[in-house]
Amino acid sequence: MTVRIKLCGVRTVEDALLCAAEGADEIGVIFAPRSKRRVSVAEAKAIRDALPARLPLVGVFLDAPLEQVLRVAREVGLQAAQLHGAWPAETADLPLYAALQVTDESSLQPRPGAARILLDGPAGGSGKSFAWTLAEKARKLGPPLFIGGGLTPDNVAQAIAAARPSGVDVASGIENAQGYKDPARVRAFVEATRRASFK
């Protein structure tokens, strides 16, 4: 089993290139208005332009209308959009990933048309985790399952063993005190995930 790695909350070209060099399978940029990791469309476009074309850039949105999501995706060149909060009734030609803020089993609600389900902590961007064993119950939702929320280089192997996800998603767990990506933590997270993938 190869677990995909999405390194999220990237705010600068320098951090994006660091994450790419250390082996990220995907990079995430956040457009949610209240997030301390929020980037502008121009900043996200600079990140997209600097990254290898093969490396997907995923935009993260909170309660954003689908029209806005698709407009930003076109301007930036996103390969997918991860939606927290409201889920659109309409379909899109862009892959849409549904993020569920997990508190208990009742949080595991279907998202019709989702290309991926992310089980996240109870509050997005908080660095708090959920009960990883709930991932087994979430498999009935259908799409590939990623986990996030409170992951670090120290606990990601344990999380993978408990949840058996298709991928992992991390932001705060690979940052320094200033909120930028820490090279040693990025490297340690990727290495721990790769080791756990083959157990």
Tell me the catalytic residues.
8, 120
Give the CA angle between residues 95, 41, 179 to the nearest 5°. Answer: 95
Separation of first and last alpha carbons in the chain? 8
